[in-house]
Each structure stands twice: as structure tokens, then as C-alpha cells.
Structure 1
Amino acid sequence: MLETLTKPETEALDLLRTSIAAHPGRIALVSSFGTESAALLDLVARIDRSLPVIFLDTGKLFPDTIAYRNALITRLRLSDVRTIRPDPAHLASFDPNGTLFARDPDLCCSLRKTMPLDDALLPFEAWISGRKHTQSDSRATLQATETGPDGRIIVNPLRAWTQTDIETYFTSRNLPHHPLQADGFASIGCHTCTRRIQPGEPPRAGRWSGTGKIECGIFLTRPVAA
């Protein structure tokens, strides 16, 4: 019996296959293992379970996220998940007591996310992102592939997916949800900078609430990693 695919699913799989073939051994998936991450991880696993998956452990993640990561690795049989962490020397110099997030959230994200990811991506010429048009105004014009601030190609296979598309895919593939999603967390990052959303708020309203910050910095212009 032939598998029936939705249009968003077909388009995402086609883009992933093309991109993986165009960068053999030089493309990775960057995943937060957040509330919607299982969809993209599953799509990639259907093509190549050995594709490198980069996971940023900032040192301030919810324990539930770590448990969810472990569960998805087992369920999807992902064979190359690389957990990367901030440089201990950088943390000792700039965030010795772990409270930098409250004083300078941009620098905190730089130390705990941007800089470690720059290093982890050095072997690659392209990477796969789970960003979507619906997440924020700054992501509303995402293209299928883009050139990132460091010159690498960023592939956005879920860019046009709606919340309904995500929910349909989770259901059709019987994917487990992040354990905090049922507790009101719609977009999940570090526990220090993530809150539950209120009725009527957009999903990312719970990220860096009250700071005016909308991105961690990974997708913002910055110097190329040395």
C-alpha cells in the first residue's frame, strides 16, 4: 500500500533530499528538541538516520528537554546526535554565577548558543533549520534556502508549515510531544528565559518575555567564526 503524503510533507521531503544530496557529508540538522522539533527530526530520519544532528545544551535547559531529546533519539533511531556545550572558560569569565541572562540576555545567548554553534558548524557547508513563517514577523519571508550570516547555506523545509500542518504530521506519524507542551509552554528554550504563554498570545511570546528580544542570535548578522 502506497503511503499518502500531504503537500507540505512532500515538499519538505523533496527539499531535504535535494539539499542532502547537494552537500554530501557536509550538511547537518540543528535541533533544539523543542515542541515542534520532532516533525523535522522525523522527516530527516526518513531520509538518513545518520545525518548529523547538532543539539545545543546551554546548561540552562529544562530537564524535560534533555529527557525528550533522549526519547526521540531512541524512537527515531538517530545515530549521530552531537550535544555541544558552551566553553567553560567563557562562562567562568563572563557568567561565573550563572545570572548573565538577567543582566545581558544577548551576551548570554552568544556565549551559550551562538559561539558553540559556530564551532560545531565548522565542518559543514550547510545546515537545516526548523524555522517557520508563522513564528515571528522576522521569519515571515523565509526562503527554502538562504545564505546565513556566516556564509553557510541554511535550509528551511518547514518554512511554510502552519500549526495545523505540524499537528497533522505529529498525528499521522504518531510522534510524542514535548512533556512541557501540555503545561502551557508553546516554545521552549532555557528555563531562565522561557515562560508559559497566556490565552491569545503567539507561541513565541514566552521567550525572553519583557526584554524586547525575539531571537537568540544564531540567525543574526555577526562575524564569521574564527
Structure 2
Amino acid sequence: MTEWPPGGSDDLIETLQDRYLPDLGHVDMPGLLLDRRLGQVALVSSFGTESAALLHYVMTIRPGLPVVFIDTGRHFPETLAYRDLLAERLRLNLVTVGPDSALLAAEDKDGDLNESDPNMCCTLRKTFPLQDALASFDTWISGRKRYQADTRAALPAIERDGAHLKINPFVFWQKDDIAAYFEAHGLPRHPLEGRGYLSIGCEPCTRPVCPGEDARAGRWAENPDKTECGIHLGPDGRFARAGRRS
């Protein structure tokens, strides 16, 4: 196994690791997802191109688990329609959250903050709402995978995300594994995938992926130094609502 990043391990993570993921040949993800030591658990989904596979997989293990979706107000209409389709088909316990309207009015009154400060735009529209939504949970489930980008190549299956534990059930899966799962379970594809969108976020900051690019190359393509939206705090992450207006 790849070593955890600094600050990325603790007694609980080590115990869970030894029990459910001692090595790549012995991965018991269903057992991990059912372990009571995870506490209160939610799955966070963007309803992107591979989300249906993770949603179906987790719901077969823990049906009724809350599924948190962050409605930033900037999603493609196709994403919202796909969310509704999957919510009905998979009978999801969907929890939709969104940004504080007063905060947006104060900080992004013209609706173009993504152009001048994309990090702050993500903070207002994604990070703040998610942290509020996760306040009553101990653990959250993410759809990140190692194959998606070089920046995720050493991603662990179990990690600390600020005060929360985070599980990445598909971390070791490859693109072909995801495709085979879709086929085996007859899952519908995101309507934008066929148009070259392999990783889908907010409409203003997402473009189709060009041949030879990694799956996340279409995210913030005009801002090469930005590779994540900011909802993943990391093992040493500290969430602070600096500058929030009441």
C-alpha cells in the first residue's frame, strides 16, 4: 500500500486498515462500509459521469444511506436531470444542499466570481454548504479514484478530511472496472459523457476532455494551478468560515 500522507493516519485508520485493507490483494470494502466505528455516515455525490456506479454499489451495502448533493446553482441542466433520474431509479435518500443566498449576494453579486477568484467561488458554493451538511456526520464517502489524475495517484482508501473520516470505495478501481459495473447493472450514463465530458462540475468551469488528456483535464482548464474544488480538506485540514457575513 502507498504510505499515507503526513498526518493522514491515526489509531482508528490503522485499525480499519489492518482489518479491511491489509494489502491490495485483500480488500473488504463492504466490511469497511458496515463497520460501526465509522459512526454516522453520508455519501457525497456530484452525480457526475461515474457516480451511478458508486451510488449503486454503496446502496447495495447500505440502502437508505443519506446522499448529499451540493447544488451550486451553476450545474449543467443535464446534471440536475441525471440526479433526479438516479434518485428515482436507485431510491436514494437524497439530501440537496446549496450556498447561502445572502453570502452569495454579498460576495458574488454579479455572478462572475468564478472568473476572478475560482477558489473563492468554490468555497462559497461548495465547501461552506458541504461542511454545514456534514456537521452531523462522522464519516463521508467520496467517489475519488487514483486513475483520475496524477494529483490523485497516491490517494488512500481511508483518510482524514479535517474532523471527518473519509472513505474512497473505488480508489483502486480502473476506468474499465467502472464501465464493466455500469454494463453489469444496466446503469444509465450521464448525458454529457458522450460529448466528451469525463469529469463534470459547474458549467462555467467545465469543458470536454481532449484526446490524451486525463479525466479531470476539463475542470478549470483556464486555471492550470487549480485542480480541486476545495471540499477535500486533507488530513491536516482545518475548516474556517473566515469572512462569513451573518
Aligned AA (1:45): M
1:168 aligns with 2:180: yes
Give the SS at the match of 2:69: strand
Number of aligned residue pairs: give it. Answer: 214
Code of the aligned partner of 1:133? R
Q: Which residue of 2 aligns with 1:50?
A: 64
1:225 CA displacement: 5.2
CA distance in 1, matches of 2:37, 2:228: 27
Q: Alignment partner of 1:160: what SS?
A: coil
Q: Distance in 1 between matches of 2:167 and 2:150?
A: 19
Residue type of the alignment partner of 1:177: R
1:67 aligned residue (81, 86, 100): 81
The AA in structure 1 aligned to 2:35 is A
Residue of structure 1 aligned with 2:128, choices 102, 115, 124: 115
Name the SS of the counterpart of 2:59 in structure 1. Answer: helix
Q: Cα offset for 1:210?
A: 2.0
Answer yes or no: is the 8 Å Cα contact 2:122–2:230 preserved in 1.
yes
- Equivalent in the alignment of 2:191: 179
CA distance, structure 1, for counterparts of residue 127 and residue 86 of structure 2:
24
Give 5+ residue unaligned stretches, structure 2.
1-23, 242-246
Which amino acid is the alignment partner of residue 15 of structure 1? M
Residue matched to 2:238: 223
Specify the code of the residue in structure 1 equivalent to 2:139. Answer: A
Provide the TM-score with structure 1 as the length reference. 0.90
Q: 2: distance between equivalents of 1:110 and 1:23? A: 30
CA contact (8 A) 1:20 1:27 kept: no
1:60-101 deviation line (CA, Å, top 9, x unaligned): 0001001000100111111x2100000011101110111000
Q: Equivalences for 1:119-198 in 2 at 5 Å?
A: 119-148=132-161, 150-198=162-210
Distance in 2, Cα, partners of 1:144 & 1:82:
24
1:218 partner letter: I
RMSD, aligned α-carbons? 1.7
Cα–Cα, structure 1 residues 185 and 156, in superposed 2: closer, same or farther, change >3 Å? Answer: same
Partner of 1:199 in structure 2? 211
Match of 1:35 in 2: 49
User: Corresponding residue for 2:90?
Assistant: 76
Structure 1 runs (4+) deviating above 3 angstroms are none
C-alpha spacing 1:157/1:24, structure 2 compared with 1 (3 Å): closer
